[in-house]
Amino acid sequence: MNGAALDAWIAALPVQALVFALVLCRVSAAVMLMPGLGEQTYPMTVRAGIALCLTGLVMPLVQPAFGALDPAAIDPWRLGGMVAVELLTGGLIGWLAQLVVQALPVAGQVISLMTGLSNVLQPDPALGSEIAAPSRLFGLLAPVLVLVSGAWIFPVRAVIGSYALVPAGSAILSVHAPLIGDGVQAVVRLTGRSFALALELSAPFVLLSLVWEISLGVLGRLVPNLQVYNLASPLQMLGGIGMLALLMRAMLETWQGRVFDLLSGLPGL
């Protein structure tokens, strides 16, 4: 490297550092929330390393979107607004992707409730409600299936495509109303489709539980002296576990196929 090239590289170093920092804000916010790569069970150093590696891969692809960025002309207030926009954009994409994947643990919660396996005394750290074995099992399977199937690439591509929706280097005052409206519509649409998928996965258990409860009610009216709860609770749990073992493969295949469709609707894709 000759002297002129070295001087040009040194002169461009502040711009490259600012671009890297802004891209890192958007990518790291998405990684901390997205499924597969940003699970809360991972150590923070691992997630930080993943964010740095993805930033190094994403930066060459989005650098033309920053244009002629002059660090000397950016005051601290504008820099703070730019960082806030980057964090908000990346966090929204990561949270929407996580919301889609959470359809499987939510289905596990419904199955636990229908089969009598839920425990209100033990809160779930991910969903906030009572923890149960099916929900915990599906919560562990979801990130594994996301990584194995390659679905984790959808949030990464959404982060790259988000620079067409939220221009690089935007300050918080320059975010216009249509962009906010599109984000709200994406949240509402993906939330509804995620809960619909969870209900679809748990529909056999809901229907059979309804029939089971009606049968117990009729049996209780016919034999008033019979301890219906003590008789039915073990049978309900055993039947629910057996039914889950029979339907789990079909449920996971259905969820995996639908997740690709839902993740393809992320903003930026």
203: pLDDT strictly greater than 60: yes
Each residue of 216-243: b (16+ CB within 10 Å) or e? beeeeeeeeeeeeeeebeeebeebbeeb
H or E segment to which residue 121 belongs: strand 119-123
Band of the pLDDT at 4, cuts 50, 70, 90? Answer: low
Percentage, residues of the chain above pLDDT 90: 1
pLDDT of residue 77: 81
Give CA separation, 169 vs 23, 38, 88, 213, 217, in Å. Answer: 10, 25, 13, 58, 63
Q: Using CA atoms in the order 12, 16, 18, 21, what is the torsion angle rounded to 10 degrees? A: -160
pTM of this prediction?
Answer: 0.81
Least confident of 23-32, 149-158, 176-185: 176-185
Three-class DSSP category at 131: strand
pLDDT of residue 62: 85
Higher pLDDT, 154 or 173: 154
Q: What is the DSSP letter of 196?
A: H
Give me 31's structure tokens. Answer: 């990684």
- One-letter amino acid at 53 equals C
Summarised one tens digit per residue, pLDDT across range 159-189 is: 888 888 877 766 554 554 445 666 677 788 8
pLDDT of residue 173: 46
Mean pLDDT of the chain: 80
Give me 151's structure tokens. Answer: 């679905």
- One-letter amino acid at 28 equals S
**For range 98-121, the mean pLDDT:** 81
| Angle formed at CA 54 by CA 157 and CA 75, multiple of 5 degrees | 95
Q: What is the DSSP letter of 172?
A: G
- Considering 61-65, 67-71, 128-132, 247-251, the range whose residues carry the highest mean pLDDT is 247-251
pLDDT of residue 3: 58
Least confident of 7-16, 100-109, 151-160, 241-250: 7-16
Band of the pLDDT at 129, cuts 50, 70, 90? Answer: low
**For range 74-81, the mean pLDDT:** 78
pLDDT of residue 177: 47
